[in-house]
Amino acid sequence: MAKSARRILGEIFAVSHLRIVVTGLTGQVVSALIERASDDVELIALGRPRLDLSVREAVLAALRATHCDAIVNAAAYTAVDKAESEPDVALRVNGDGACYVAEIAAELRKPLLHLSTDYVFDGKLDRPYREDDPTGPTSAYGRSKLVGEQKIAQTHDNHAILRTAWVYSPSGANFVRTMLRLGQSRDEVGVVADQLGNPTSALDIADAVLAIARRMVADPSPALRGLFHMAGGGEASWADFAEAIFAEGQKHGRAPVRVNRIGTKDYPTPAPRPANSRLDCGKLQKIYGVALPHWRESLAPCVARLLAAQG
């Protein structure tokens, strides 16, 4: 049975002190990394104005000055629908910016962990996507993230590209927070039921990233490098996810909310969403022994924290 990433973090390939620099300041994964970093991990978060992924010299100078053991590229242009109207901006950040981070990681000879997305696929496959399945992004955001993956692979061998999906957490804007907000004023919410994916806790991502970084710093094995899928266990439609959120809310005294299951055609968006975003994470489990918890397991404490913060 796979061990949790958090357990592995303290067990294998022990490094007495790990200095990790992460791009981004306020994103869900960055916030989770800051929360989950153990006492022997020094986490340095860099973002604007000191580090702007769209400016090469700024990226190189900021990261060169950190004297880190590993780099995590968590910053990105993530406005999926807005990217349809400004694809060049998304490409500069997610494509060129990722390349700049890879350049300095190669110069410093440090491992690079890069977070990517399920949106690099077209969603037409009838099973969870594996790392070797053909990509085919249908949105400007997805295309920009795929370019970033490709540029990293071409620039720096010492990398782990980690594709994840449907990220939620107690911080930042995400689907869980949105559903809880809507549930305060509505007794019924329409939610898409014909898109499938893996809801993934940012805190679980952080645990896995820290475990992977520690292992990469200590072990130069090529098998630990490359492309990996890293998403929450289990699968769901957005409607399934919403029902689970409202059920958790009821446990904390929230009024029940009915989910009206609608189709993608009933909720048009500027950027098309993949009908199938499910990711097969077997490779990560086989190579690293890391499997993220089931999304329902991680959802409960997230909802509890969000509601507690609301008072």
- Number of DSSP helices (H) and strands (E) in the chain, helices first: 11, 12
Q: Is 288 a known active-site residue?
A: no
The label of the residue with tokens 């998304």 reads 90
Token pair listed for 290: 């890391």
The active-site residue, picked from 100, 119, 141, 168, is 141
CATH number for 292: 3.40.50.720
Contact by Cβ (8 Å): 144, 93: yes
Contact by Cβ (8 Å): 79, 142: no
Three-state secondary structure readout of 204-240: HHHHHHHHHHHHHHHCCCHHHCEEEECCCECCEEHHH
* Whole-number Å distance between alpha carbons of 109 and 102: 10
Contact by Cβ (8 Å): 280, 129: yes
Q: What angle, 0 to 180 degrees and rounded to 10, lies between the N-to-C axes of helices 238-251 and 175-185?
A: 60
* Alpha carbon of residue 199 to chain centroid: 10
Range of the structural domain that residue 191 is part of: 5-310
Q: How many domains does the chain have?
A: 1
pLDDT tens, N- to C-terminus, the chain (311 residues): 444 554 444 444 455 689 999 999 989 999 999 999 988 999 999 988 888 999 999 999 999 999 999 999 999 999 999 999 999 999 999 999 999 999 999 999 999 999 999 999 999 999 999 999 999 999 999 999 999 999 999 999 999 999 999 999 999 999 999 999 999 999 999 999 999 999 999 999 999 999 999 999 999 999 999 999 999 999 999 999 999 999 999 999 999 999 999 999 999 999 999 999 999 999 999 999 999 999 999 999 999 999 999 86
* Alpha carbon of residue 103 to chain centroid: 22
The gap between the terminal CA atoms of the chain, to the nearest Å, is 39
pLDDT number for residue 12: 43
Token pair listed for 251: 């446990």
Token pair listed for 136: 């085919």
Q: Which of 162, 118, 163, 148 is nearest to 275 (CA)?
A: 118
Token pair listed for 255: 């009024």
